């Protein structure tokens, strides 16, 4: 609950609104037991514990990359399911990559998170707790959030929006919307709904191919909304929010990495102000697809920039702990 909602709830119990503020403050600092909320009277702590639960995450595993200090956490959810979160350390601050669902039902051909399908949505409190507990367990101040872990954020729309309001709240984590990126495989209705909220976050669209033929092979969602519909939704999003879209493009050998693909992409994006993030596919053994060669990636990037499209090539972080994009899965796979 947001502090305002908590205040309304507490009012019904005859409690003054500053109590809600106090409880929200404790929860935001990761306190998961009412008994530890020491500025509340003892009787009240007992009464709250009888009435409410604090479904906190508990840490199952923490892996630290020897290469770059990236940390991957596996959390246990209150019902025994689990998800992963990754902390990346950059010069400009710490960024946390969070999961929004237990598993995923989008079925992208290159991604490990969707193996085994979707088990359930995460609650807003669980998504928030990924951020809070990562900060505590890694002793890191979190300045940026990317919704690029396990799950499709726009397939868990209400919980994700509630999470954004919680993490953005000045009495909580107070992370500005401009420090948050939400990545989607391209749910057109979800993009339109999000546009109406006019949040100042960065929308990343996982494009991965400029044309229907290639994209439908990689991403089943493209059979529901083709690339034309997706580009149109992105344009509406930009018109409504004034925020430029960032397109993710994972380079898959001999699938989407040809000069022809680069030209098609450039033709679409030239002049739109959109930004392309190229990333070499991370190899996922179950998936069989191979990363493009580094040379191909460089050529592709050059073609885009020569055509006037801004492009960056992503660095890989945490690959020694399987923390890189598309590799998050162990946390949600039940042991056979
Ligand atoms: N469901 C959302 C967010 C999670 S995935 C989305 O689709 O955007 C985060 C990013 O990692 C997406 O761009 C996704 O396409 C990409 N990704 C998935 N598997 C990958 C892999 N094996 N190598 C590189 N990127 C991958």
Of 51, 88, 66, 82, nearest to 150 (Cα)? 82
130 in active site: no
183: β partners: 204
Q: Which helix (H) or strand (E) holds 84?
A: strand 82-90
Q: Which helix (H) or strand (E) holds 158?
A: helix 157-168
Q: Atom of ligand 1 at shortest distance to CA of 291?
A: 23
Q: Considering the chain, what is the average pLDDT of its residues?
A: 94
Largest CA distance in the chain: 70
Confidence check: pLDDT of 325 > 80: no
Q: Atom of ligand 1 at shortest distance to CA of 326?
A: 19
Distance 53 CA to ligand 1 centre (A): 34
Q: Which helix (H) or strand (E) holds 296?
A: helix 294-306
What is the pLDDT at residue 284? 85
Please return the burial class of 256, using the count of CB atoms within 10 Å of its CB with bins 0-12, 13-18 and 19+. Answer: buried
How much is the average pLDDT of 290-311? 96
What is the pLDDT at residue 336? 34
From CA 46, how far away is CA 20, in angstroms rounded? Answer: 15
How much is the average pLDDT of 222-230? 97
Confidence of residue 329 (pLDDT cuts 50, 70, 90): low
pLDDT in tens, 247-268: 999 999 999 999 999 999 999 9
- CB 325 near ligand 1, within 6 Å: yes
How much is the average pLDDT of 290-318? 93
pTM, rounded to two decimals? 0.95
What is the pLDDT at residue 80? 94
Confidence check: pLDDT of 114 > 60: yes
Residue entry with tokens 């898959």: 252
How much is the average pLDDT of 51-65? 94
**Under 8 Å between Cβ of 83 and 100:** no
97 in active site: no
Q: Atom of ligand 1 at shortest distance to CA of 111?
A: 19
**Under 8 Å between Cβ of 103 and 332:** yes
Secondary structure percentages of the chain, helix, strand, coil, to 5: 40, 20, 40
- CB 209 near ligand 1, within 6 Å: no
Distance 110 CA to ligand 1 centre (A): 8
How much is the average pLDDT of 167-189? 97
How much is the average pLDDT of 96-108? 97
What is the pLDDT at residue 288? 83
* Structure-token pair, residue 165: 């309001």
Confidence check: pLDDT of 330 > 80: no
5, 84, 108, 141: which is the annotated catalytic residue? 84
- CB 184 near ligand 1, within 6 Å: yes
pLDDT in tens, 9-21: 999 999 999 999 9
Residue entry with tokens 């050529």: 299
**Under 8 Å between Cβ of 109 and 217:** yes
Q: Which helix (H) or strand (E) holds 11?
A: helix 3-12
From CA 314, how far away is CA 294, in angstroms rounded? Answer: 12
How much is the average pLDDT of 308-335? 74
Q: How many CA atoms lie within 13 A of 325 on its CB side?
A: 21
Confidence check: pLDDT of 98 > 70: yes
What is the pLDDT at residue 335? 43
**Under 8 Å between Cβ of 240 and 195:** yes
């Amino acid at each position: 609950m947001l502090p305002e909602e908590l205040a309304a709830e507490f009012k019904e119990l005859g409690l003054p609104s500053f109590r809600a503020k106090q409880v929200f403050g404790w929860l935001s600092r990761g306190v998961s037991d009412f008994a530890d909320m020491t500025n509340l009277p003892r009787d009240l702590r007992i009464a709250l514990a009888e009435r409410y639960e604090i479904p906190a995450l508990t840490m199952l595993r923490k892996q630290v990359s020897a290469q770059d200090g990236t940390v991957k956490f596996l959390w246990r959810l209150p019902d025994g399911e689990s998800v992963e979160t990754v902390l990346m350390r950059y010069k400009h601050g710490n960024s946390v990559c969070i999961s929004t669902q237990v598993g995923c039902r989008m079925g992208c051909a290159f991604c490990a998170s969707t193996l085994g399908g979707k088990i359930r949505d995460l609650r807003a409190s669980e998504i928030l707790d990924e951020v809070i507990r990562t900060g505590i367990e890694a002793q890191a101040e979190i300045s940026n959030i990317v919704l690029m872990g396990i799950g499709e954020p726009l397939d868990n729309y209400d919980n994700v929006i509630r999470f954004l309001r919680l993490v953005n709240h000045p009495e909580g984590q107070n992370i500005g919307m401009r420090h948050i990126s939400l990545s989607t495989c391209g749910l057109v209705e979800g993009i339109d709904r999000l546009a109406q909220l006019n949040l100042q976050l960065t929308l990343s669209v996982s494009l991965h191919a400029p044309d229907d033929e290639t994209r439908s092979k990689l991403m089943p969602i493209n059979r529901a909304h083709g690339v034309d519909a997706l580009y149109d939704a992105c344009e509406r999003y930009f018109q409504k929010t004034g925020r430029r879209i960032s397109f993710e493009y994972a380079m898959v050998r001999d699938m989407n990495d040809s000069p022809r693909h680069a030209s098609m992409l450039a033709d679409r994006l030239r002049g739109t102000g959109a930004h392309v993030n190229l990333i070499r596919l991370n190899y996922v053994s179950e998936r069989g697809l191979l990363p493009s060669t580094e040379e191909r990636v460089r050529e592709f990037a050059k073609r885009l920039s020569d055509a006037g499209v801004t492009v960056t090539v992503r660095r890989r972080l945490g690959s020694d702990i399987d923390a890189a994009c598309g590799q998050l899965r162990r946390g949600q796979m039940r042991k056979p």
